[in-house]
Amino acid sequence: MDLGIAGRKALVCASSKGLGRACAEKLAEAGCEVVVNGRGRDSAEATAADIRNATGAKVTAVAADVASPEGQAALFAACPQPDILVTNNLGPPPRPYGEVNRQQMLEGVTGSMVAPIELIQKALEHMVVNKFGRIVNITSGGVLMPQTNLEVSCAARAGLTAFLTTVARSVAPHNVTINFLLPGAFDTDRLKSLFETNARRHNTTPEAMRAQRVETIPAKRIGRPEEFGAACAFLCSAHAGFITGHNLLIDGGAFPAAFA
């Protein structure tokens, strides 16, 4: 299927690995010029080279912290007028809610709510003038079903969702869409880290924690990042212009409700 976005410029945050990388790969396959981003220069450059070699697309690497003003400036220096923006950032580490202090809460809200809003503010003007824009925010299944010890992450991402659903409707007349991808359990370093943390807490093994999680998923498996990336690429496509302000939950059926 031709997604109709060949030649579009895509800025994909936190994309040197994990779900962000999967999104960058699928956008490059669709013919986009892609900016990939990671905090470490070596990992960002390696990812850019891998995607470039696999797809033949123009791929630029930017080492930057997307939550910092300097990092955001570096991203937009590399791609001043993106047609596609995928916001993403590593969430705060798991902690019992009673141990979370003010500074940790502020850092979590800055990284998972404020930073994406700032990035979108910088991208919207060009998108509105150009009458094309696709914004996809990678949040979490925890927006709909908050998880123990991830209260800061879930709350910040839920706040981002509430903020941007109103913005989505204000820019919809200009063929600019804003949507949210909510991952469940995907095979990423982040998930492995959570299994390791929970294993220590419960005096068991990461493998046991993984098996326990799989049992809660009707699909009986962990998601593959490329599945997530494909969903992102479709939401960024020319065919998705009538989809905006929505949460797409990708979790193998784990959310136990008829209506999200």
On the question of pLDDT at 149 being above 90, the answer is no
* Residue 67 and residue 171 share a domain: yes
β-pairing, 176-183 vs 9-12, is: unpaired
Is this structure's pTM higher than 0.75? yes
CATH of residue 99's domain is 3.40.50.720
Edge to edge, what strands does the sheet with 176-183 contain? 59-63, 33-38, 9-12, 84-87, 133-138, 176-183, 247-250
pLDDT of residue 91: 86
The tens digit of pLDDT for each residue in 54-65 reads 999 999 999 999
Question: Confidence class of residue 259 from pLDDT cuts 50, 70 and 90?
Answer: confident
Q: Is residue 155 part of a domain?
A: yes
pLDDT of residue 194: 86
Q: What percent of the chain has pLDDT over 90?
A: 90
On the question of pLDDT at 121 being above 90, the answer is yes
* Residue 202 and residue 139 share a domain: no
* Residue 101 and residue 86 share a domain: yes
* Residue 176 and residue 237 share a domain: yes
Q: Is residue 2 part of a domain?
A: no
* CA–CA separation, 63 and 161 (whole Å): 26
pLDDT of residue 76: 98
* Residue 117 and residue 87 share a domain: yes
Q: Using the Cα atoms of residue 64, residue 26, residue 219 and residue 206 in order, give the sign of their dihedral.
A: negative
Domain that holds residue 217: 188-222
Residue at 221: amino acid letter = R
CA distances from 249 to 17, 45, 170, 187 (A): 20, 30, 23, 16
* Residue 195 and residue 181 share a domain: no
| Residues 239, 75, 128: CA angle, nearest 5 degrees | 40
* Residue 175 and residue 217 share a domain: no
* Residue 176 and residue 52 share a domain: yes
Q: Is residue 231 part of a domain?
A: yes
Q: Is residue 44 part of a domain?
A: yes
Per the structure, the count of domains in the chain is 2
